[in-house]
C-alpha cells in the first residue's frame, strides 16, 4: 500500500514536471517565433519619447514635472534597448506644452499660459536636440514611408520626428510648413492644454470642438504630408479633426472605454470606430490603468482589435514618459509579440499590429 502511494506520488510529481517543461518549451518556442517575426517585419511604435530628449535644455519646468523627470535624458540607453528588443522605428516625440505642464492630483495639466515666444523656443530646443541624435549616428531620420523599409547595413534605429501638442504652431499654417521642413512628420494637435486648435480631453472644454484656426492647421498638415495624431484631444475636437482631414489619422496612444474600464484618457468606442472607418490606426497604450502587467496589456490589444478590426490597431508605447507603464523597456518587445501569437493572432495579423498598419497610414498621409 505504502509503495503504491509512493509510486503514485512520484509519478504525479513527474507528470507535473513534464507539464512544467512543456509549458517552458512552449514559452521558449513562442519567443523564438516572435523574434523571427520581429526580424522579418518592420516594426513602428506610433508614439514614444525614447530617452526623454524633451528634457534636454528645458529650463523653468514646474517643480512637480521636475520631480517626475527623475533620471533625466538617456537616449543612448533607450536606443540600445530598441535595438536589443528589435523595435525598428518609433515616433520620437517632442512635447510642445512641456514648459507649462504641472502634475496635480488629476494628472498632468497646463498650469499657466505661455510667455510670448516660449512655446516656439521650446519646440526649437527640442527639435535641435532630437536632430543631434541623427548627427551623432544614434538613429536614422525617417522622412518618407520608404525609409521605414530601407534597412541600412548597421540595422540602425529609425526615428520619425513628432511633436506632441500643436501649441508651438500658435494656429499658424506657416509654422506647419516650417515643421515639415524641420523633418517633423507627425503632430498631435492637442496635448494637455487647450490651444489655438482645440480642446484637450483632460480638462473642461472651452472651444467645444475644433477652432477655425484648427481646421486650417489640419488642412495644412494634410497638404504638407504630416500625420495628424488625435490622441489627447477632446471627443468633439477629435471628431472635428477627423472631419477636416482628408487623410487617415493616428490616435497614437489610447484605449477604448468599456463598461469595466474608464479613464479620462480613454476614447469612446464610437470615436474609435470612426477613426477606423476613415482608414486610421489606434496605438494600444501600455499604461497601467486597470491592468498591471503585460498580459493585461495583451487583453486590451485584443479588445481593441474586436472593436475596430485588425487593420486599425498598432502599438503606442509612450516609452520613457508613460503613465504607470506595464511595458517599460523595448527589450520586452519580443514578449509582447509572443503574447499576441500565443493568444492565437496569426503572424500576418501580428505584423499589422507591430508596424504594418502604422506604415500604411504614414504612406496614405504622404501621398494625399
Count of alpha carbons within 13 Å of 264, Cβ hemisphere only?
Answer: 16
How many whole angstroms from its chain centre is CA 182?
21
C-beta closer to Zn ion: residue 199 or 318: 318
Helix or strand or coil: residue 186? strand
Q: How long a stretch of residues is the chain?
A: 368
CB 57 within 8 A of CB 99: no
C-beta closer to Zn ion: residue 64 or 216: 64
Least distance to Zn ion, CB of residue 295, Å: 24
Applying CB under 5 A, the span of 157-165, 174-182, 304-312, 331-339 interacting with Zn ion comes to 157-165
Chain residues 162-181 in contact with Zn ion, contact rule CB under 5 A: 164
Select the residue whose beta carbon is closest to Zn ion and give its number: 318
Applying CB under 5 A, the span of 123-131, 160-168, 224-232, 243-251 interacting with Zn ion comes to 160-168
Least distance to Zn ion, CB of residue 322, Å: 8
DSSP structure string for 311-330: GGEEE---BTS-SSBS---G
Which of 199, 318, 320, 335: binder of Zn ion (CB under 5 A)? 318
Least distance to Zn ion, CB of residue 124, Å: 19
> Which contacts qualify for 59-66: CB closer than 8 Å, 24 or more apart?
60/99, 61/98, 61/99, 61/101, 62/100, 62/101, 62/102, 62/103, 62/111, 64/102, 64/103, 64/104, 65/98, 65/101, 65/102, 65/103
C-beta closer to Zn ion: residue 46 or 179: 46
Pairing mode, if any, of strands 157-164 and 184-188? parallel
Residue 342 to residues 80, 84, 295, 312, 317, Cα–Cα distance (Å): 27, 22, 11, 21, 21
Cell numbers given for 279: 482608414
Applying CB under 5 A, the span of 11-19, 29-37, 98-106, 313-321 interacting with Zn ion comes to 313-321
Least distance to Zn ion, CB of residue 34, Å: 25
At CA 195, angle to CA 72 and CA 284, rounded to 5?
60
C-beta closer to Zn ion: residue 164 or 196: 164
Helix, strand, coil shares of the chain as percentages rounded to 5? 50, 15, 35
The beta strands (E) that lie in 53-106 are given as 89-95, 101-104
C-beta closer to Zn ion: residue 90 or 313: 90
Least distance to Zn ion, CB of residue 326, Å: 16
C-beta closer to Zn ion: residue 213 or 318: 318
Applying CB under 5 A, the span of 170-178, 192-200, 270-278, 311-319 interacting with Zn ion comes to 311-319
C-beta closer to Zn ion: residue 30 or 284: 284
Least distance to Zn ion, CB of residue 155, Å: 26
Least distance to Zn ion, CB of residue 172, Å: 23
How many whole angstroms from its chain centre is CA 210?
23
Kindly determine how many residues on this chain lie close enough to bind Zn ion according to the rule CB under 5 A.
2
C-beta closer to Zn ion: residue 179 or 351: 179
Applying CB under 5 A, the span of 29-37, 114-122, 314-322, 328-336 interacting with Zn ion comes to 314-322
Chain residues 72-101 in contact with Zn ion, contact rule CB under 5 A: none
Applying CB under 5 A, the span of 14-22, 233-241, 310-318, 346-354 interacting with Zn ion comes to 310-318
Count of alpha carbons within 13 Å of 116, Cβ hemisphere only?
Answer: 0
C-beta closer to Zn ion: residue 114 or 192: 192
C-beta closer to Zn ion: residue 34 or 230: 230
Least distance to Zn ion, CB of residue 24, Å: 36
Least distance to Zn ion, CB of residue 100, Å: 15
C-alpha to C-alpha distance for 328 and 258, rounded to whole angstroms = 24
Q: Which of 324, 270, 263 is nearest to 297 (CA)?
A: 324
Least distance to Zn ion, CB of residue 133, Å: 17
Binding site for Zn ion (CB under 5 A): 164, 318
Amino acid at each position: 500500500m505504502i509503495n503504491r502511494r509512493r509510486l503514485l506520488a512520484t509519478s504525479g510529481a513527474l507528470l507535473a514536471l513534464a507539464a512544467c517543461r512543456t509549458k517552458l518549451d512552449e514559452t521558449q518556442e513562442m519567443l523564438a517565433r516572435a523574434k523571427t517575426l520581429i526580424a522579418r517585419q518592420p516594426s513602428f511604435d506610433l508614439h514614444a519619447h525614447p530617452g526623454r530628449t524633451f528634457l534636454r535644455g528645458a529650463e523653468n519646468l514646474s517643480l512637480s514635472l521636475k520631480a517626475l523627470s527623475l533620471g533625466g535624458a538617456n537616449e543612448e540607453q533607450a536606443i540600445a534597448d530598441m535595438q536589443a528588443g528589435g523595435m525598428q522605428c518609433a515616433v520620437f516625440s517632442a512635447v510642445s506644452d512641456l514648459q507649462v505642464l504641472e502634475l496635480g492630483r488629476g494628472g498632468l495639466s497646463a498650469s499657466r499660459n505661455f510667455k510670448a515666444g516660449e512655446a516656439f523656443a521650446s519646440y526649437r530646443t527640442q527639435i535641435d536636440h532630437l536632430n543631434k541624435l541623427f548627427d551623432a549616428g544614434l538613429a536614422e531620420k525617417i522622412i518618407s514611408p520608404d525609409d521605414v523599409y530601407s534597412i541600412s547595413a548597421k540595422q540602425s534605429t529609425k526615428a520619425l520626428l513628432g511633436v506632441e501638442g500643436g501649441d508651438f504652431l500658435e494656429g499658424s499654417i506657416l509654422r506647419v510648413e516650417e515643421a515639415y521642413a524641420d523633418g517633423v512628420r507627425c503632430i498631435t494637435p492637442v496635448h494637455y492644454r487647450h490651444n489655438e486648435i482645440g480642446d484637450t480631453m483632460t480638462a473642461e472644454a472651452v472651444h467645444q470642438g475644433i477652432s477655425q484656426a484648427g481646421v486650417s492647421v489640419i488642412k495644412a498638415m494634410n497638404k504638407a504630408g504630416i500625420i495628424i495624431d488625435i490622441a489627447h484631444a477632446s471627443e468633439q475636437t477629435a471628431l472635428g479633426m477627423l472631419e477636416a482631414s482628408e487623410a487617415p489619422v493616428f490616435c497614437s496612444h489610447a484605449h477604448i472605454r468599456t463598461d469595466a474600464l474608464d479613464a479620462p484618457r480613454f476614447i469612446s468606442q464610437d470615436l474609435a470606430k470612426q477613426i477606423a472607418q476613415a482608414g486610421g490606426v489606434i496605438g494600444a497604450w501600455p499604461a497601467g490603468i486597470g491592468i498591471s502587467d503585460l498580459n493585461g496589456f495583451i487583453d486590451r490589444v485584443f479588445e481593441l482589435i474586436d472593436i475596430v478590426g485588425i487593420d486599425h490597431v498598432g502599438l503606442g508605447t509612450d516609452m520613457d514618459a508613460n503613465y504607470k507603464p506595464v511595458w517599460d523597456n523595448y527589450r520586452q518587445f519580443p514578449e509582447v509579440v509572443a503574447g499576441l501569437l500565443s493568444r492565437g493572432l496569426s503572424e500576418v495579423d501580428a505584423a499589422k499590429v507591430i508596424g504594418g498598419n502604422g506604415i500604411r497610414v504614414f504612406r496614405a498621409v504622404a501621398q494625399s
